[in-house]
Structure 1
């Protein structure tokens, strides 16, 4: 990954920042960059009743402009991007920071974990609807270029989206090189189209005055809050600024926003507004109708490419979020495939990819138009924005120790705006917006069931666990037959004897010369330096306790990490080391701790989770698994 702290080599001082800025434009700003395709179209044609007249157009433009300034420029770029977890961003990284900050307050810590899980679940819901509405909006431009082709829009969009998901397993390293330049071209086109429109009707520049937004609320008090449900479309992808910070760092993302993205978006929105002042009928698709007729087909092609890039960023974000959640113990282990030897962040998770593809295709087929999808959009993204504000409030007050007189007014402003956007989008739940919300609820149930189930499983195993000192004492009294080599027993408890060790003694009646009780510890920081990776404690009689520390962005390669141990007594050479794993089979029962149906769900998840063997990159021919049954 490219880190913000990396320094350019001599002679590359200018090229490197420019390269990072262009790359950030391609990866980070795809979603928000394609929002002009459908935002004003939804505002004026989405059934909100906004009049396409002078005051209506200027009022909406002012709302969009100041929403971009407050939510994106002020909240995310100025404040949220500072809440980095050792350079990493995103809702799970922020949750790790907030739980660390609230550690002295157990109840607050539980609330912060809940906010993080809700935000992560809603992010997945957003990951379903964003690619669908973006690609549909782009393809719908063909209906303006060719008569009678409207019935082909949905099939073409489905083909484009399915092709996008099919190429995921091959990685994005090669096509990613094109992302930046294509999106720079896209924003340049947005700006030029906007300037073309503004020149025709310069009066729209008045919308920079926030009085027009205030006047819209005064004149249309009932419609004012409701219309925020459509204005929020201009903020799609705001969360990506924070989620992708680990790839580029805060400065390139901020510079790209203020130098290119924000000016291009504002110019295009105002250009569309100028067109609407001249021709109210253009509200059916102001983005494409803003372009000259000769440029329509090239613009459709560029728009489709831009929306594919935007969708790619959302999918990659879902992969990264899933890996973080797995490492933090909230999602069952899945097979993670690396698609690049140079970029650690470029990964592929098949289960997530196919689940997203099915969900996105169902949305496209079910809603059939970007307008219908846009009407359902907003609940998930505004919910994630609200959770982000709650989490960062804890970080600002408890971790950064900001003075309350400074922090509280800012946080109240964030919560007020986020609350208004969220409230405006709540009615969409009964208008089709239930799909991403139901997906988020299902994922929240899955994550909480997995986390709680793992806790109960450890408790049940601990009930019958034998303390390690007692076991070693018994070994001294009645020494078993010892064989050459090193046995590594993976266990979650540092002070108890693993079941696999007891089973091995019971059935094979032998013990290796060196016995290592290994516990892998997942830290709430992105990466753990190699010098802090390894902890070892010798108990005597050939027994050792080893702790391996990994961050939530690290690759938990156990054999490679064990090679860092330089103790003379321990030999981790591949042909002398055997790994023993415990494989638990869970049986749902009426025991206290979890409802029986959730116990059955956890048993299903555990059975289908990726095992320790693959997850920890253990050698296939040096692993022995011993099973046990546990009731929860």
Structure 2
């Protein structure tokens, strides 16, 4: 098959070692840079350095990683792949497809909220990662502290400017750099553990439990900082479609997890031996001669971690558009070989503005850490709740087994959400505010589209009877040569563009093809079942098009599939005209579905959505747009 009917591509089959190296470079960037600030923030929240604090906190970090990342995500959640894809939206589609009908709207709401929180994380991760790496220069010269923010802004500006070039070329060096990074974490950790091997006793969960029991109030606050060690956990699941389960699991178990644990324990040993290094235990863990190389390596690692989150936001946006949660947004494909590599200019600019604001407003990783965590913790809790429906409704687990597994996971997630709630006034308000704004936009768009479809169904003419009336009888409508295609219609209903063409031109084309699309709860749909053609007689055909939530419709390529099902018709691009309806939405305040302010927001989103011709990959010189007005 030379041309796919939708702009999508599955990852090529590559050897597991190659995929594992790629996963190291992309999947683990966020969680891999957490040692830059996690233990420092934990000790700060605990009130300082003493053996009880250090042993208890490092044990909490270890067992949090084991329970949340290894057991929950690597061993459990990654089993719930949606045709190989992962992430909160893919899981929402999977769960809503098997859950009881009465609960599907609720699950969709949970998924939309989780996606909105993901965008909040996408704003904070680049800011805190890059600025925490740059802060290492203060150990070289304390007077450089005034340059931390400018240097971080320069790095972040360069990062966002190169997004339009695509990640293909840069991605080739991500894996090797992050491999060096994780080996450096392991080596520095071992060096410091050697000076105080007794810290390895904290491997026992008894130290974590004792710390929680001895000072539960302080421990509850500390948990909000312990969560910083887990912030990249959701990425393991979200990036599963790019690399597969096995490479991600192997990379985690054989390299990333051991390296992180060794580094956290090494930092713990260092602060016990030298409490004065509490302000920067990560950078103090190497000899003076290695400080500058470590700062440079940390800067590269944080840029890679930021790149992974930004790329994830681009992919999430594409999924949200296809699932009807966001308006059509221009998507630029940055590779002719890997169609999954996309660049979304609007999202890139939005993230950049938000990141610059965060850097200028908070100015340090200490302050940013207060804003970090609540968004990711919320997404993790929602993932667990959605997994309940997958285990119970899809995997057919018995209720007792489902509750026995999901219950403890939900309890741990809820505990981390509650502990991060303490940070809301100190900065956690930002991701919540950003998430709430995005949640409002996404739910308004989804509800507005439903309202429009219902309005079309109630007010428009049914297609089949209209075609019969126009082509039969004593005075059939005049016909002209060529093919007219009407994309983006509602199944069995007459497109407004068709009615406008009849009204203004008074003719029908020899061949008329009415396309109505639907998005499946799977990432990809095979071309063998993508189109279904129904003949309405007299050269008119109603075509139902199915596509997955990872795919962008490509109408010319779809017509190549339609051609195989229509006898005596051949798709000739020079003989086809595409008729699109450009409807103006007017907010009247009379809708029972939405209040006036949401009607106005929906109308604004419609006005600023990407052009349908661009979205459907239509040749501009073959497109005819017919205007209309819809009163809400």
Partner residue of 2:497 out of 495, 500, 504: 500
CA contact (8 A) 1:490 1:582 kept: no
Q: Give the equivalent residue in structure 2 for 1:455.
A: 450
Partner residue of 2:272 out of 274, 277, 287: 277
Give 1:473 deviation, angstroms.
Answer: 2.9
Deviation per residue, 1:246-292 (Å, 9 max, x gap):
10000000000000000000000000000011111111110001111
1:561 matched to 2:558? The reply is yes
Q: Give the equivalent residue in structure 2 for 1:156.
A: 151
CA distance in 1, matches of 2:456, 2:127: 45
CA contact (8 A) 1:3 1:248 kept: no
CA distance in 2, matches of 1:194, 1:49: 22
CA contact (8 A) 1:2 1:246 kept: no
Give 1:492 deviation, angstroms.
Answer: 2.9
CA distance in 1, matches of 2:284, 2:313: 34
Partner residue of 1:70 out of 54, 61, 67: 67
Deviation per residue, 1:398-424 (Å, 9 max, x gap):
011122232211101100100000000
Aligned-partner SS, 1:553: coil
Q: Give the equivalent residue in structure 1 for 2:29.
A: 30
CA distance in 2, matches of 1:460, 1:111: 23
CA contact (8 A) 2:322 2:552 kept: no
Partner residue of 1:543 out of 524, 540, 545: 540
CA distance in 1, matches of 2:38, 2:136: 14
Deviation per residue, 1:363-384 (Å, 9 max, x gap):
0110010011012211101000
Give 1:552 deviation, angstroms.
Answer: 1.2
CA distance in 1, matches of 2:518, 2:197: 61
Q: Give the equivalent residue in structure 1 for 2:229.
A: 234
Instruction: Please report the TM-score for the alignment, with normalisation by the length of structure 1.
Output: 0.96
CA contact (8 A) 2:330 2:344 kept: yes
- After superposition, the Cα gap between the structure-2 partners of 1:560 and 1:7, relative to the gap in structure 1 and judged at 3 Å, is closer
Q: Give the equivalent residue in structure 2 for 1:11.
A: none
Q: Give the equivalent residue in structure 1 for 2:261.
A: 266
Q: Give the equivalent residue in structure 2 for 1:597.
A: 597
Deviation per residue, 1:421-467 (Å, 9 max, x gap):
00000121111111111000000000000011111112222332112
Q: Give the equivalent residue in structure 2 for 1:212.
A: 207
Gaps of 5+ in 2: 1-7
CA contact (8 A) 1:3 1:249 kept: no
Deviation per residue, 1:10-66 (Å, 9 max, x gap):
xxxxxx211111110000000000000000111123xx2344111110100100000
Partner residue of 1:188 out of 170, 183, 191: 183
Aligned-partner SS, 1:610: coil
CA contact (8 A) 2:480 2:508 kept: yes
Deviation per residue, 1:312-341 (Å, 9 max, x gap):
000000000000000011000111001112
Q: Give the equivalent residue in structure 2 for 1:120.
A: 115
Aligned-partner SS, 1:330: coil
Q: Give the equivalent residue in structure 2 for 1:383.
A: 378
Q: Give the equivalent residue in structure 2 for 1:96.
A: 93
CA contact (8 A) 2:589 2:599 kept: no
CA contact (8 A) 1:486 1:570 kept: no
Q: Give the equivalent residue in structure 1 for 2:290.
A: 295
Give 1:2 deviation, angstroms.
Answer: 8.6
CA contact (8 A) 2:31 2:233 kept: yes
Partner residue of 2:46 out of 49, 55, 61: 49
CA contact (8 A) 1:563 1:572 kept: yes
Choose 186-195 or 557-566, whichever is displaced more.
557-566
Give 1:497 deviation, angstroms.
Answer: 1.4
Q: Give the equivalent residue in structure 2 for 1:510.
A: 507
- After superposition, the Cα gap between the structure-2 partners of 1:2 and 1:586, relative to the gap in structure 1 and judged at 3 Å, is closer
CA contact (8 A) 2:121 2:376 kept: yes
Q: Give the equivalent residue in structure 1 for 2:626.
A: 626
Instruction: Please report the TM-score for the alignment, with normalisation by the length of structure 2.
Output: 0.96
Aligned-partner SS, 2:340: coil
Q: Give the equivalent residue in structure 2 for 1:608.
A: 608
CA distance in 2, matches of 1:140, 1:513: 69
CA contact (8 A) 2:489 2:514 kept: no
CA contact (8 A) 2:9 2:339 kept: no
Q: Give the equivalent residue in structure 2 for 1:480.
A: 477
Give 1:189 deviation, angstroms.
Answer: 0.3
Q: Give the equivalent residue in structure 1 for 2:18.
A: 19
Aligned-partner SS, 1:227: helix
Aligned-partner SS, 2:234: helix
CA contact (8 A) 1:461 1:630 kept: no
CA distance in 1, matches of 2:302, 2:357: 18
Partner residue of 1:532 out of 529, 533, 538: 529
CA contact (8 A) 1:134 1:307 kept: yes
Deviation per residue, 1:179-205 (Å, 9 max, x gap):
000000000000000000000000110
Deviation per residue, 1:559-590 (Å, 9 max, x gap):
01111231223332101111111111000002
Give 1:7 deviation, angstroms.
Answer: 5.4
1:355 matched to 2:355? The reply is no
Q: Give the equivalent residue in structure 1 for 2:571.
A: 572
CA distance in 2, matches of 1:192, 1:604: 54
CA contact (8 A) 2:333 2:342 kept: yes
Give 1:470 deviation, angstroms.
Answer: 2.5
Aligned-partner SS, 1:332: coil
CA distance in 1, matches of 2:365, 2:463: 62
Q: Give the equivalent residue in structure 2 for 1:489.
A: 486
1:81 matched to 2:49? The reply is no
CA distance in 2, matches of 1:236, 1:550: 32
CA distance in 2, matches of 1:110, 1:549: 21
- For these two proteins, the number of residue pairs brought into alignment is 620
Q: Give the equivalent residue in structure 1 for 2:243.
A: 248
CA distance in 2, matches of 1:570, 1:112: 43
Q: Give the equivalent residue in structure 2 for 1:417.
A: 412
Gaps of 5+ in 1: 9-15
Q: Give the equivalent residue in structure 2 for 1:12.
A: none
Choose 58-67 or 274-283, whichever is displaced more.
274-283
CA distance in 2, matches of 1:49, 1:338: 47
1:321 matched to 2:320? The reply is no
CA distance in 1, matches of 2:469, 2:337: 50
